[in-house]
Amino acid sequence: MAPFGFDPDHAVAHLRRADPALEKIIDDVGPFAMQLKSSRSVFGALAEAIVYQQLSNKAAATIYSRVEALYPRARQGFTPAHVLRTPDDRLRGCGLSRAKVLALRDLAEKVARRDVPTLEEALLLEDAALIERLVAVRGIGRWSAEMFLMFRLGRSDVLPLDDYSLRKAYATAFRKRSLPSRQALERAGAKWRPYRTVASWYLWETLNRRPVAAGDAG
């Protein structure tokens, strides 16, 4: 498993001190067990993200494996050069929509031009700067970029304000009558800095557990 860019134990201890209501959620969920997915490259991670968008994991995995099968000699995974020299009809034949083929081509072109940072370069960029570079790729929105930072790079302080399940988890855990707006969630999450990634994970985990009487977050 890839390493986090922070100390998870320190992060959990910080959140306990910073937010007594979230501390109750932490107690209910248990130890921090977020899993990171290793990445061979930014291209590989974003290509997978594009394929998986708006599909079930099972369907997306099937399509992605078909794309990989187009390049049996690519032992380290297919590359931008592979995509750029593959006709559209072959990519479409794997089950990719026209929009996803266009997105993969745009990603491949931008990686080839070095518009997209390498994994080594990405590790050195601040969150905002990296997100700005990633969302320039067709088909990669802010949410996809944030998921990359959280689950690929292990960044500590990402709060995906547009994530419906996170907003739902917050409303349920803190007994709100409606889903919070982006602004309300951002305000609520200010006390979780610089470990909003960890707080987000704990909130997501509540969706798979019994409701927690966390009280009003204020």
3 pLDDT band (50/70/90 cuts)?
Answer: confident
Summary count for the chain: helices (H), strands (E): 13, 0
Band of residue 210 on the pLDDT scale cut at 50, 70, 90:
low
> Residue 111: which of 45, 173, 192 has the closest Cα?
45
Q: Is residue 46 in a domain?
A: yes
Q: Which residue range(s) make up the domain with 187? A: 8-34+158-206
Provide the pLDDT for residue 30.
96
Instruction: Indicate whether 215 belongs to any domain.
Output: no
Flag the least confident range among 1-5, 59-63, 69-73. Answer: 1-5
Mean pLDDT of the chain: 93
Task: Tell the residue number behind the tokens 């707006």, with chain if given.
Answer: 181
Residue 218 covered by a domain: no
Q: Identify whether the C-beta of residue 26 lies closer than 8 Å to the C-beta of residue 12.
A: yes
Residues 145 and 61 both lie in one domain:
yes
Higher-scoring residue by pLDDT: 28, 3: 28
- Spatial neighbors of 79 by CB under 8 A, at least 6 apart, are 43
Asked, for residue 103, whether it belongs to a domain, the answer is: yes
> CATH code at 120?
1.10.340.30
DSSP state of 192: G
Spatial neighbors of 33 by CB under 8 A, at least 6 apart, are none
Report the length, in residues, of the chain: 218
pLDDT tens, position by position, 67-120: 999 999 998 899 999 999 999 999 999 999 999 999 999 999 999 999 999 999
Mean pLDDT score, 16-20: 96
Pair 175, 79 in one domain: no
* Number of domains comprising the chain: 2
Domain CATH number, residue 200: 1.10.1670.40
The predicted model scores a pTM of: 0.90
Task: Answer yes or no: do 165 and 79 share one domain.
Answer: no
Token representation of residue 97: 């929509």
Examine the domain organization and report whether 54 and 145 are in the same domain.
Answer: yes
DSSP E strands in the chain: the ranges are none
Locus of tokens 């200010």: 190
Residue 121 sits in the same domain as residue 166: no
